[in-house]
A and B are shown apart, each in its own frame.
Chain A
Amino acid sequence: AQTVTQSQPEMSVQEAETVTLSCTYDTSESNYYLFWYKQPPSRQMILVIRQEAYKQQNATENRFSVNFQKAAKSFSLKISDSQLGDTAMYFCAFIGPGTASKLTFGTGTRLQVTL
């Protein structure tokens, strides 16, 4: 079974600064997908960024980028130029092989962006 670990329950960053959220996962598969989801106080789950395991290039979406280290099974999220609207819970998630597309989530990191 796959597991996803987020070891930072809470983090804080000042506005305009950069912060990195960590995520590690455990799998014996070689073909899988990784995601970061954001859950603001409104509780809606919003996709931030995705990474395909067979792609070596790290995914980037505007101020959000990942550091994907397949051998180390690490998938960290970097948020640059942090904004107050980035305040949210961030969940790392994994989809393995098979057609069911079942997501396995980490326990989340609560990020607070301060002035």
Chain B
Amino acid sequence: DGGITQSPKYLFRKEGQNVTLSCEQNLNHDAMYWYRQDPGQGLRLIYYSQIVNDFQKGDIAEGYSVSREKKESFPLTVTSAQKNPTAFYLCASSQQGARNQPQHFGDGTRLSIL
């Protein structure tokens, strides 16, 4: 079955440490997205990529970095510059340009500070 796989499900970060969240999709979608979810704030866009080797900042990109070397992979790195990283992170994908088509979401990664 096609879908989006996020790993790990739970992740812990020490002070000053960078951590990377994995997102892989086999839906052959061009566009991929990273969202952060905090209680009471809904989902906020961190970064998105419409095509391989290209990505754009979303609304809350500070303290995060991404890469898009392969169509099916869009890893998110939470750097030490992100002072409040504790949140639920969701990866999504969609057909490029197909705004009426829904984004497909992974099951998420919960990141906590040790």
* Interfacial residues, chain A to chain B (CB-CB below 8 A): 4, 9, 32-33, 35, 42-45, 47, 50, 52, 91, 95, 97, 99-108
Contacts and interface: CB of A to CB of B under 8 A. Distances in A.
* B interface secondary structure, majority: strand
Interface residues of B, number: 27
Given A33-B99, A33-B100, A50-B100, A103 B43 contact: yes
Given A100-B48, A102-B48, A44 B107 contact: yes
B42 A99 contact: no
Contacts of B43: 91, 103, 105
Interface string B76-114: 000000000000101010101111101101011000000
Given A103-B103, A105-B43, A108-B42, 13 more contacts: A4-B42, A32-B99, A43-B108, A45-B90, A47-B102, A50-B102, A91-B43, A99-B97, A100-B48, A101-B103, A105-B44, A106-B42, A107-B42
A43 B96 contact: no
Contacts of A108: 42
A91 B37 CA distance: 12
* A interface secondary structure, majority: loop
Given A33-B100, A100-B56, A105 B42 contact: yes
A42 B88 CA distance: 12
